[in-house]
C-alpha cells in the first residue's frame, strides 16, 4: 500500500506502451503504477513516478521489485516461467500465475492444451526435423505456417512456407518450431475477457482485427456483421479458457473466422492491441480492467460507448518530412473527433509508436477517419 494514499501499489514488469497506458488508468484509481523497465527511456518509464531499472530475466531484480506491491503483473510474456513460480511460492501475488501464463509463453504448450480441451485449433505438429514439415505438408497441403514456439511478437517468429525448401534455413537455425496448416480465414477476430482471483469474469464485445505483415493495424468494434451465434460462441470460448486455465487479469483470444466457425490462433494474458479501442470505446478500459482484476476488485462494465469504434495503429514511417508535432496540428485541425495516443517511442520504420481511436454511429465512415488519421501521423500527409 502507498502510505500517502492508502491505495494499493501494482507493479508491472516491462516498460512498453502497455505499461504506459496501464499507468494512465492507474492514475484514475488513485494509484501510480510501479514499472520495471530496461531503460529510463522506455515508454512507461518516461511517465511513471515509481520506475525501477532492471531486467525481467533477473530473479533478484524481480524480487526487489515485488517488495511492497499488492500485485505484480506483466506488460509482456517474456519473464521466465520458473521466476514467476518462485515469486508466487515466496508469497508474491503475481498474475497471471506461472501455470496459466505458460500457455501464452509457449505456442506448442498452448496448442496441446487447447486441443486437449476440445477447443477449435488449426491442424498442427511439432517440428524436430525438416521431414516433419514436408510430411505434414503432404498430409494437410501447402502452404503451411511455421512458428517459433517462444519469443515471437508482431509476426516476428511466424513464417509462411510454400514448400519444404522454404523451411531449410529455418530448421537449420535451430529455432524451436511448430508448424500448422494455413487456415483459410475470412477474417481475424479477438475476444477479450478479464478474470479476477474471486472468479468474476467480464467479456468485451468481440472485435475484428486487421493485420498487415503480421502486425495489427486496425481493430473494429464491434466486429461488423458478426452473427450473434458466433459472437456469443467466441465470448463463451474466452470465458471458458480463462476459467479453465485459471487466468487472472486480461485474456485476449486471437481467433480466425472461417466458413466452418471460429478457430483459436493464440492467447495473450495482458492488455492487448485488440483492446486499445476500449480506452474511449468501452465503459471500462482494458487497462483499468486489468488493474481491477489483479487487485481482485469487482469488474467494470464492458459495453460500448458508441455503435462503432475503430482503432488504427500508428507505425513509424520513413525518416524526413514534417515533424510529428506539425502532423498532429494539422490532423487536429481537420478532424477534432480523433483521439490520439502516442507512446513516446523513438520512430523506427514499422514500429508501433501510437494509435488513434474514432467513435461514431456508422462503421464505414468511422473506419475511414481512423485509417486516414493514422496514415497522416505516419506519413505526414493526409
Ligand atoms: N495458421 C495460420 N493460418 C493463417 N494465417 C496465420 C496462421 N497463423 C498466423 N497467421 C497470421 O499471422 C499473424 C501472426 O501470427 P501469430 O499471432 O501467431 O504471431 P505473433 O507474432 O505471436 O503475433 P502477436 O503480434 O499477436 O504476438 C496472425 O495474426 C495471422 O494474420
Ligand atoms: Mg498474434
What does 55-86 look like in DSSP terms, one character per residue? -TT-HHHHHHHHTT-SEEEESSS-S-HHHHHH
Residue 155: CB within 6 Å of ligand 1? yes
Please give the pLDDT value at position 319. 81
Angle at 174 between CA 168 and CA 176, to 5 degrees: 105
Whole-prediction pTM value?
Answer: 0.97
Average pLDDT of the chain? 96
All residues at 6 or more sequence positions from 18 whose CB lies less than 8 Å from its CB, including other chains: 12, 44, 75, 76, 270, 271, 287
How far, in Å, is the centroid of ligand 2 from the Cα of 4?
Answer: 40
Kindly report the protein residue whose alpha carbon is nearest to atom 1 of ligand 1. 182
Residue 254: CB within 6 Å of ligand 1? yes
Please give the pLDDT value at position 57. 98
Sign of CA dihedral 114, 193, 252, 368: positive
Choose among 26, 71, 105: nearest CA to 248.
Answer: 71
Residue 257: CB within 6 Å of ligand 1? no
How far, in Å, is the centroid of ligand 2 from the Cα of 1?
Answer: 35
Residue 334 above 90 pLDDT? Answer: yes
d(Cα 348, Cα 326) in Å, to the nearest integer? 18
DSSP 174-204: T--EEEEE----SEEEEEEEEE-TT--EEEP
Instruction: Dig out the grid coordinates for 369 from the structure.
Output: 477517419
Q: Give 120-154 pLDDT, tens digit per residue.
A: 999 999 999 999 999 999 999 999 999 999 988 77
Question: What's the average model confidence in pLDDT over 366-372?
Answer: 98
Q: Give 235-260 pLDDT, tens digit per residue.
A: 999 999 999 999 999 999 999 999 99
How far, in Å, is the centroid of ligand 1 from the Cα of 256?
Answer: 10
The ligand whose atoms approach the alpha carbon of 148 most closely is 1
Residue 278 above 90 pLDDT? Answer: yes
Residue 188: CB within 6 Å of ligand 1? yes
Going by pLDDT thresholds of 50, 70 and 90, the confidence category of residue 205 is: very high
Q: Which residues are close to ligand 2, an ion, with C-beta < 5 A?
A: 254
Amino acid at each position: 500500500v502507498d502510505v500517502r494514499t492508502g491505495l494499493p501499489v501494482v507493479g508491472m514488469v516491462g516498460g512498453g506502451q502497455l505499461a504506459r497506458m496501464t499507468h494512465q488508468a492507474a492514475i484514475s484509481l488513485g494509484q501510480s503504477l510501479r514499472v520495471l523497465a530496461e531503460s529510463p527511456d522506455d515508454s512507461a518509464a518516461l511517465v511513471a513516478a515509481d520506475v525501477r531499472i532492471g531486467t525481467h530475466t533477473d530473479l533478484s531484480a524481480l524480487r526487489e521489485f515485488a517488495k511492497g506491491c499488492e500485485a505484480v503483473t506483466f506488460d509482456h510474456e517474456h519473464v521466465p516461467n520458473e521466476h514467476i513460480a518462485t515469486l508466487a511460492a515466496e508469497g508474491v501475488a503475481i498474475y497471471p500465475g506461472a501455470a496459466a501464463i505458460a500457455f501464452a509463453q509457449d505456442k506448442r504448450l498452448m496448442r496441446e492444451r487447447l486441443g486437449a480441451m476440445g477447443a477449435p485449433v488449426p491442424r498442427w505438429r511439432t517440428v524436430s526435423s525438416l521431414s516433419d514439415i514436408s510430411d505434414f505438408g503432404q498430409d494437410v497441403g501447402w502452404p503451411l505456417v511455421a512458428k517459433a514456439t517462444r519469443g515471437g511478437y508482431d509476426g516476428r517468429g511466424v513464417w509462411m512456407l510454400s514448400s519444404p525448401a522454404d523451411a531449410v534455413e529455418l530448421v537449420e537455425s535451430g529455432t524451436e518450431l511448430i508448424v500448422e496448416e494455413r487456415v483459410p480465414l475470412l477474417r481475424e477476430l479477438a475476444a477479450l475477457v478479464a478474470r479476477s482471483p474471486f472468479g468474476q469474469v467480464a467479456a468485451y464485445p468481440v472485435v475484428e482485427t486487421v493485420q498487415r505483415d503480421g502486425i495489427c493495424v486496425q481493430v473494429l468494434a464491434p466486429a461488423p456483421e458478426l452473427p450473434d451465434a458466433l459472437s456469443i460462441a467466441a465470448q463463451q470460448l474466452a470465458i471458458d479458457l480463462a476459467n479453465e486455465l485459471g487466468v487472472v487479469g486480461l485474456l485476449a483470444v486471437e481467433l480466425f473466422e472461417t466458413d466452418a466457425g471460429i478457430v483459436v490462433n493464440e492467447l495473450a494474458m495482458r492488455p492487448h492491441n485488440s483492446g486499445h479501442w476500449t480506452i474511449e470505446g468501452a465503459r471500462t478500459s482494458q487497462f483499468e480492467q486489468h488493474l481491477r482484476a489483479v487487485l481482485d476488485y469487482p469488474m467494470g462494465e464492458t459495453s460500448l460507448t458508441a455503435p462503432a469504434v475503430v482503432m488504427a495503429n500508428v507505425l513509424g514511417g520513413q525518416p524526413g518530412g514534417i515533424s510529428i508535432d506539425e502532423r498532429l496540428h494539422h490532423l487536429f485541425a481537420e478532424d477534432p473527433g480523433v483521439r490520439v495516443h502516442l507512446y513516446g517511442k523513438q520512430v523506427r520504420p514499422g514500429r508501433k509508436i501510437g494509435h488513434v481511436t474514432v467513435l461514431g454511429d456508422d462503421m464505414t465512415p468511422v473506419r475511414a477517419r481512423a485509417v486516414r488519421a493514422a496514415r497522416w501521423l505516419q506519413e505526414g500527409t493526409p
